[in-house]
Amino acid sequence: GFSRHLVEILSRHGVAFSSFDVFSDEEVRQGLKSFSNWPTYPQLYVKGELVGGLDIVKELEASGELDTICPKVQKLEDRLKSLINKAPVMLFMKGSKQVTGMGLT
């Protein structure tokens, strides 16, 4: 349906997102419609602001604007570069340095 299509669009564009199943909480399902003044689902929010539903997202995708407003999943190479430069000396290890003995290998 519409939600699946929206998930496909976001995934295709590498958008980092979370979701909430409105069927799991009727109060949220009805309350969000009033809160957002948007009567249908799915509803996409970016940084706490309503973007719209599937039709709006399709328009944003067609115009190229979707890529500018949605945060992307960070590529592994970029994550690794960020991690190895987090401190002047970085140790990658199994376990936590706060744990003495147990859990370290």
- 33 CB neighbour count, 10 Å cutoff: 15
| Domain spans, the chain | 2-73
For residue 100, what pLDDT is reported? 55
For residue 17, what pLDDT is reported? 92
B/e letters for 9-18, b = 16+ CB within 10 Å, e = fewer, are bbeeeebeee
Q: Could you report the per-residue pLDDT of 55-105, keeping only the tens digit for each?
A: 999 999 999 999 999 988 888 888 899 999 999 999 888 887 776 555 555
How big is the CA angle at 45 (ends 51 and 23), to the nearest 5 degrees? 115
For residue 79, what pLDDT is reported? 86
Distance CA 32, CA 100 (A): 48
Q: Could you report the per-residue pLDDT of 20-69, keeping only the tens digit for each?
A: 999 999 999 999 999 999 999 999 999 999 999 999 999 999 999 999 99
For residue 99, what pLDDT is reported? 60
- The CATH H-level superfamily of 2-73 is Glutaredoxin (3.40.30.10)
